[in-house]
Structure formats: structure tokens, C-alpha cells
Amino acid sequence: MFITFEGGEGSGKSTQINLLSKFLLSKLHKVFVTREPGGSVGAETIRQLLVTGNPNRWDAHTEALLMYAARRDNFIRIIKPKLSEGNIVISDRFSDSTKVYQGYVGGVSDANIDLLHKFSLDNFYPDLTFFLDLDVSKGLERANSRKSNEKRFESKGLEFHENIRKSYLKLASDEPARIYIIDASKSISKIHYEITKVVEKFLTKNK
């Protein structure tokens, strides 16, 4: 089973991934957590090109190419082998991020994103995705409070991030069977509870 978490900057993905991982381990599942861009050694190298530096360092087409280069490496070296070993793999971001950031907002066409995906991953997609929906200003405030140099996307301005949120909501409405919208303004424990209920239901249904 492959679960992904999506959302704007500062939406609390890392916290919820950590909680879900512990929950699944407590139920005696094998679990592996990865992230994007990154995960594998090669993909982590590419990550630094994408998340640091000037906001205008790359255009959306170049970003999409870099994202899929990293994604391909993480998939063949980490995700695919871990799934084959029987792990539930949880990823902090995956292909939906590219569709939203570089596609809907960046202007790369759906056809080109789909072509990149097919070339890189064939027909591999997440089984289940959680979109953590949070007010953009609040999310950016959280994200900018972190001590990190990985703030290239955070630096892109409020309008950019408002469009990111709208695009995620559109994507979720297009794929309601896979993408669950979670109100990330709720308490950490309430969000975790909602997520675990969805995951348990999915696991029971797909035994």
C-alpha cells in the first residue's frame, strides 16, 4: 500500500506522517517513510537544486523535469523495493505535487505532466492520498518559522500559494475516491484520528 500526504507549505504533513507511521507500527504493519523531492541518495542531491536558492532559479518546466528525475530514482531504489518487501510506504509529497505546483499553477500542460509520469513511473500512482488543507497565511507563518535554508517555494508569495491551495482542492474534487481533504486547522489529535479511520477502512476493504 502506498500512501501520500499533500498540502501547502506548513500544513503539518510531517507531524501526521510520523503519527500515522507509529500507529501502523503499533498494529504490527511494516512501514517505511520517504519524502519528495528526495528519499534516495540521488534524489536528495536533486532536492537541493529544487528547494534552495532564488525563487526564479528554475521555470516550471525545468522544475517538472527535475522533480521527475528525483521521483524516478526514489521509486526504483526505495519505494518499489520497500513495497515488494511488504511495507506500507508513506511519502511526504508525490506526483500530485508536480501536477499542482508545476502543472496547474506553473503552466505545464496536463498532457506533458502525464507524459513525464508515464515515462518515469509507468502507471504507478498512490493508493491513498491525504490533502491537508490549511489557510495559506497560517501555513506560511508556520513554514517561515522553521530554521532551514529550504525556503525557495515558501518565498514565492501569497498569490502563488493561494493558487496552490485552490489547485489541490480542484484535484481532490476530481479524484474523491483517492484523495481525502483533511481540515488541517483542527487539533493534531483530531487530524490523526480522521486519517487513521480512513486508513483502517482502506486496509479492511483491501485485505
- Residues 173-187: what's their mean pLDDT? 96
Q: Around Cβ 85, how many Cβ atoms within 10 Å?
A: 10
Domain that holds residue 72: 2-205
What's the full length of the chain, in residues?
207
> For 162, which DSSP code?
H
186 pLDDT band (50/70/90 cuts)?
A: very high
Say how far apart CA 39 and CA 45 lie, in whole Å.
10
CA distances from 88 to 27, 28, 91, 143, 146 (A): 12, 11, 10, 28, 29
Q: Tens digits of per-residue pLDDT, 27-72? A: 999 999 999 999 999 999 999 999 999 999 999 999 999 999 999 9
CB 98 within 8 A of CB 6: no
Say how far apart CA 80 and CA 73 lie, in whole Å.
10
Q: Tens digits of per-residue pLDDT, 70-119? A: 999 999 999 999 999 999 999 999 999 999 999 999 999 999 999 999 99
Rounded to a whole number of angstroms, the distance between the first and last alpha carbons of the chain is 11
Give the CATH number, domain containing residue 17: 3.40.50.300
DSSP reduced 3-state for 27: coil
Say how far apart CA 119 and CA 96 lie, in whole Å.
16
Q: Is the pLDDT of residue 146 over 80?
A: no
DSSP string, 76-133: IIIIHHHHHTTPEEEEES-HHHHIIIIIIIT---HHHHHHHHHHHHTT---SEEEEEE
Task: Categorise residue 122: left if φ over 0, alpha if ψ from -120 to 50, beta otherwise.
Answer: left
Provide the whole-model pTM.
0.94
154 pLDDT band (50/70/90 cuts)?
A: confident
Q: How many domains does the chain have?
A: 1
CA angle 163, 148, 195 (to 5 degrees): 55
